[in-house]
Amino acid sequence: MAYVYDDQNIFAKILRGEIPNDTVLETEHTLAFRDIQPQAPVHVLVIPKGPYVCYDHFAQAASDAEIVDFTRAVGQICKSEGLQEGGYRVISNAGDAGVQEVPHLHLHVLGGRGLGRMLQPAS
């Protein structure tokens, strides 16, 4: 499958500084910021700075340095947001079935309350 990246998506605009964000962490290859509509007391979005549509695109096309940086950033956020003790959830929605709204890879890091079962039954 050919991945087509839309550089007008909202996270691309955030990365270019065209839209403000509430930054939690910035590294060489990764930006993490608070979700504008938080679903939990902690709801941080972690995005690579490179133009990757979704997780499998990133996993196949990103450099080792990008993947290490991104993964380490998630670990740092779990620590700095105090999620290690109480637990947390990391989600990445992709494509239609995953109901991905923004076509730039992002991990949702959620915590700070009980999060319930992972999936609701399909309606």
* Catalytic center residues: 106
Of the candidates 3, 9, 46, the residue with the CA atom closest to the CA atom of residue 27: 46
In the complex, the smallest distance separating the C-beta of residue 36 from ligand AMP, rounded to whole angstroms, is 4
Q: Taking the CB of residue 49, how many other CB atoms lie within 10 A of it?
A: 18
- Pick between residue 36 and residue 68 the one whose CB is nearest to ligand AMP: 36
Q: Give, in order, the Cα–Cα distances in Å from 110 to each of 7, 9, 43, 87.
A: 26, 22, 5, 9
Q: What is the dihedral of CA 61, 21, 84, 95, to 10 degrees?
A: -40
- Pick between residue 37 and residue 85 the one whose CB is nearest to ligand AMP: 37
Selected from 36, 59, 61, 65, the binder of ligand AMP by CB under 6 A is 36
User: What is the token pair recorded at 2?
Assistant: 């050919």
> Does residue 10 interact with ligand AMP by CB under 6 A?
yes
Selected from 101, 118, 120, 123, the binder of ligand AMP by CB under 6 A is 101
User: In the range 41-100, which residues lie near ligand AMP by CB under 6 A?
Assistant: 45, 93, 99-100
> Does residue 30 interact with ligand AMP by CB under 6 A?
no
